[in-house]
Structures are given as C-alpha cells and as structure tokens.
Amino acid sequence: MSNNSQPKTPLVTNIFTADPSAHVFDGKIYIYPSHDIPHDGEDNDNGDEYRMEDYHILSLDDITAPCVDNGEALHLKDIPWASKQLWAPDAIERNGTYYLFFPARDMDGIFRIGVATSSSPVGPFKAEANYIQGSYSIDPAVFEDDDKKAYVYFGGLWGGQLEKWQTGSFDENGVGPALDMPAIGPRVAELTDDLLSFKSEPKEISIVDKDGKPLTAGDTDRRYFEGPWMHKYNGTYYLSYSTGDTHYLVYATSKNPQGPFTYQGRILEPVVGWTTHHSIVEYKGKWYLFYHDCTESNGINHRRCVKYMELNYREDGSIITMEP
C-alpha cells in the first residue's frame, strides 16, 4: 500500500526548494531545505549547477496547514569560512537553542560542514566562525538518540567529494573503489554535548546485504551515494539514503546507530529529476516522507520543489515502497 491518494503538491512555489529535513518542534513541523537558485547554466557530474546562497526555513502548523516560507534564515555572506554552495542542511534543538548544520565549500573549494545557531527554529541563524574541525563532504543529518547522544551522518559521492577522503585527508585525485570492492560508506560522528564539534574522528558506516557481505561499489541500485537520514522505529535504527545515479531512496537497518546496517529495500522509486533526497518524521502518530522532485520546472535538475507523503510500515517493520 502506498499513499498515492494524497495530493503531492509542492509545499511552496514562491521559491525552488530541495533536500528537505523535517522535524517537529513544539508541535509544529519545520522543514530545513536547500534553496535552489534558477540560472541557465549547464549541469555536470560535479553538481556545479547547485549554486545555493541562502537558507529559508519552511513551517507547517499542522500536516495539512498551508506551508509558510519564513524568509532568509542564513546567507552565505554571513558565513566567515564558506565560499559557495550551501547544500542540504539539517537542524536539531537542544535546551531552547536551534542548531543548523549545513555543508558548503570552504575557501579552498573543499566541502566542509558548519553549524549556525538561533533561539528560533526559523532563524535568523548565526554561523560559527569556522567549520566543524574534522568535517568534510556534504549532506549532514543530525539524530538525537533516546540517551541524548547526538550523531551527525554525512557524505556524498561525486560533487560531494567523499571519494577524495578515503585516506583520511583530502586527495584531489581520489577515486572510488573497484566495482567489486566494498562501496564507500556514509560517515557518522558523535557530537560533543554543546553540539558544536565532533567528539572524535568520523567513522565509516558499513552497509551489508542479508548475508552480511558489504554492498559493492558496482551495486549501484543499493549502495550509498548521498543524502543520509536516520530515524528510529520500534527500537530499530533506520539509515535511509539516495543511490544517486540510479535515483532510488533506499534503507538499511541496525540495532546500533553506528552500524553495521543491513540493506532492506526501497522507500521511493525515482522522481522527476536527477537527485532524490528525503527525510522521515513522525507527526501525531503517523509517519511522513519529505522529498523533492523537479515536476514544477519540467525536469530542470536545479529547480526542485519539496513535497511530502505518508509513509507506512508493515508489521515486520519493513517500509512499504512508494511511487512518487
């Protein structure tokens, strides 16, 4: 059963939005998306067409309420260490402060992950002076476990530069493993109590098949590409992500937030547009998938719009695959 009866209309149409990270704070739904800038430039495998310069936070008073664009929450010019490309963000609240985690290229063109804080879920956010030391690549997703330990999951291939970090430092010429070798995994780092730093070096997450064998780099229908998301359902950790060049949203599960994770299946079949990126959130006892597509721009990859639909589990905890 997929929830295709819902009107999957864009949440907002006044701006192009993508990469939605949805959270419930004080009973309202807040969506932390990227803000796509329309332009007429060409697409490439490095993602240069994604030229975002600021963040706008969206909010919903209830799941069917009109979506509000709360205006500019943070701009590139106010981030001392960043040079361009404010890609997919995420947010977390602790003790009344909201922490916006976001990737951007530093002054050397290397993707790093920064934090900005605010007393309001919709900002304005003030960026820290520097990026998180030890951070790299893109697509941070923050998850607070029941024991209050907070983790950030991140990493993306190709334009996201994850191939260039296999030795622990940035290698401009780094390429992915041979197709029959284990695929590169996303990274996880536990955050310090103030949520501003990594407690220790990020670890690579292993994603294995049902026989315990690591997914290989050539297994492009299942291997990790970008856009990680973590949620917990009935005591199991669900790591979901995009397979990038095969355009699926898929998931893997574990009893440990740092893995290893066992591949389970697809959440969403390909949308219109090259990228697919999502979040999963519980609201009033139901679960929702927030995602984006390029239907509003007739398939222009960097003019995306955020939507949602209800997500359902089977009795055994598996997620029912959805059609966009």
Q: Which amino acids are annotated catalytic? A: 19, 226
> Which of 12, 31, 138, 281 touches ligand FUB (CB under 6 A)?
138
Instruction: Looking at residues 224 to 243 of the shown chain, list those that interact with ligand FUB (rule: CB under 6 A).
Output: 226-227
CB of 131 to ligand FUB, least distance (A): 16
Q: Which is nearer to ligand FUB, 224 or 283 (CB)?
A: 224
Coil, strand or helix at 157: coil
Determine if 277 is a binding residue for ligand FUB (CB under 6 A). yes
Instruction: Looking at residues 191 to 230 of the shown chain, list those that interact with ligand FUB (rule: CB under 6 A).
Output: 226-227
Instruction: Looking at residues 76 to 95 of the shown chain, list those that interact with ligand FUB (rule: CB under 6 A).
Output: 87-88
What residues contact residue 250 under an 8 Å CB cut-off, 6+ apart? 222, 240, 241, 242, 243, 263, 264, 265, 266, 267
Q: Which is nearer to ligand FUB, 47 or 202 (CB)?
A: 47
Q: Which is nearer to ligand FUB, 156 or 186 (CB)?
A: 156
Given a contact cutoff of 8 angstroms between Cβ atoms, the answer to whether 38 and 51 are in contact is no
Strands 82-84 and 54-60: unpaired
Classify the C-alpha dihedral 222-224-226-229 as positive or negative: positive
Number of residues near ligand FUB (by CB under 6 A): 14
Nearest to 263 by CA among 307, 305, 319: 319
Determine if 139 is a binding residue for ligand FUB (CB under 6 A). yes
Q: Which is nearer to ligand FUB, 266 or 302 (CB)?
A: 302
Triad 187, 20, 106: Cα angle to 5° = 55
CB of 254 to ligand FUB, least distance (A): 22
CB of 215 to ligand FUB, least distance (A): 19
CB of 2 to ligand FUB, least distance (A): 22
Strand partners, 32: 21
Determine if 19 is a binding residue for ligand FUB (CB under 6 A). yes
**Interatomic CA distance for residues 317 and 77, integer angstroms:** 44
Triad 195, 199, 203: Cα angle to 5° = 115
Given a contact cutoff of 8 angstroms between Cβ atoms, the answer to whether 124 and 75 are in contact is no
**Interatomic CA distance for residues 324 and 319, integer angstroms:** 15
Joined tokens for residue 4: 């295709």
> Which of 50, 99, 136, 241 touches ligand FUB (CB under 6 A)?
50
Nearest to 84 by CA among 57, 50, 117, 34: 50
Determine if 55 is a binding residue for ligand FUB (CB under 6 A). no
Determine if 21 is a binding residue for ligand FUB (CB under 6 A). no
Q: Which is nearer to ligand FUB, 61 or 221 (CB)?
A: 221
Determine if 112 is a binding residue for ligand FUB (CB under 6 A). no
Q: How far is CA 303 from CA 7, 10, 145, in A?
A: 20, 12, 34
Determine if 161 is a binding residue for ligand FUB (CB under 6 A). no
Q: Using CB under 6 A as the criterion, which residues of the chain lie in contact with ligand FUB when the complex forms?
A: 18-19, 34, 47, 50, 87-88, 138-139, 156, 226-227, 275, 277
